Amino acid sequence: MTCNVVPNAIFKNGNSIPMFGLGTWNSPPGQVAQAVKDAIDVGYRHIDCAHVYQNEHEVGEGIAAKIAEGVVKREDLFVTSKLWNTFHRPDLVEGACKTTLQNLKLDYLDLYLIHWPVGYQEGTELFPMGPDGKTFLFSDADYVDTWPEMEKLVDAGLVRNIGVSNFNAKQVQRVLDVARIPPATNQIECHPYLHQSKITTFCAEKGIIVTAYSPLGSPARPWVKADDPVLMDDATVGQLAKKHGKSAAQILIRYQIQLGHVVIPKSVTKERIASNFDVFSFQLDEDDMKQLAGLERNGRICPESSAFGHPHHPFEKEE
């Protein structure tokens, strides 16, 4: 199977992004490099990373190995990373990007996102805490001041495209109001239990592509509770999987693609990496799409609860 079966979404600036990629959040240390190698062998050409995942050096190893083997060239790949919350202050943006590039062993990123609209106190701690060990320390840096520095990364050739992640509609509009280069994408949690229709409609109106993370409901998230509903076990998803002779994961991934979203499921298992990729040989019909749309329950998996109380928290006052 080759990568040419993956359709591209086209950014407003005319650049393209493969609609399917490998997510690397919560991938166990020591397994990420191999997962990236397996994914590239299967046909993945889009890899989604972030500084805060603390595994970009392993992603870089996997990419470098496949380039050295001649399986891919750098220009065949689309690599995304994200500016972490402790680097929102304008003078820290370029250094953060260069650290990511160094870890990934790359000269440029295809896409760089502001990971969250909330800024955390600058320093070496990814999740800086107060003396009580419970309170998170925030930065007063405003993402609208961060954005021009993201634009400078494009000017400098370090980054091809820039965007945001986990921004609500008002926040995206604030960026648009100051932007010389508008965000190409907004990467958000999106699956049948959380469609985010307000922000997805807004992005569509503004010509901003939606990238869907946790499309499978992130069953292995660290804070999962025993009584949390499991999207992959949902009866409707199971019936559709049976109908199409596909797995629950394949149904959920295909759903995002048919919604017009870029989708980045995570796996480190070779068989699942291959299975997740096999979503281009079938189509969900109108009734299937309606059934999946009917599963909405506003079930947010990634609320970023550590940032509750931050003036730029994207969901706290939204819901």
Q: What is the pLDDT of residues 167-184, one digit of tens each?
A: 999 999 999 999 999 999
Q: How far is CA 163 from CA 169, 214, 259, 277, 300, in A?
A: 14, 18, 20, 25, 21
Task: Tell me what pLDDT residue 319 has.
Answer: 47
Task: Tell me what pLDDT residue 275 has.
Answer: 97
**Does 115 count as an annotated binding residue?**
yes
Domain parsing of the chain, residue ranges: 15-307
Query: Which of 53, 112, 120, 255 is labelled catalytic?
Result: 53
Backbone CA torsion sign across 119, 153, 184, 295: negative
Q: Look at the domain 15-307 and name its fold.
A: TIM Barrel (3.20.20)
pTM, entire model: 0.96
Task: Tell me what pLDDT residue 224 has.
Answer: 86
pLDDT lower than 70: segments of the chain? 1-4, 318-319
Tell me whether residue 53 is one of the annotated catalytic residues: yes
Instruction: Please tell me whether residue 262 adopts helix, strand or coil conformation.
Output: strand
Task: Tell me what pLDDT residue 227 has.
Answer: 85
CB-side neighbour CA atoms (13 Å) of 178: 15
- Residues 261 and 75: their CA atoms lie apart, in Å, by 22
Residues 176/182, Cβ–Cβ less than 8 Å: yes
Name the nearest CA neighbour of 33 among 216, 272, 277, 270. Answer: 270
Could you count the other beta carbons within 10 Å of the beta carbon of residue 42?
18
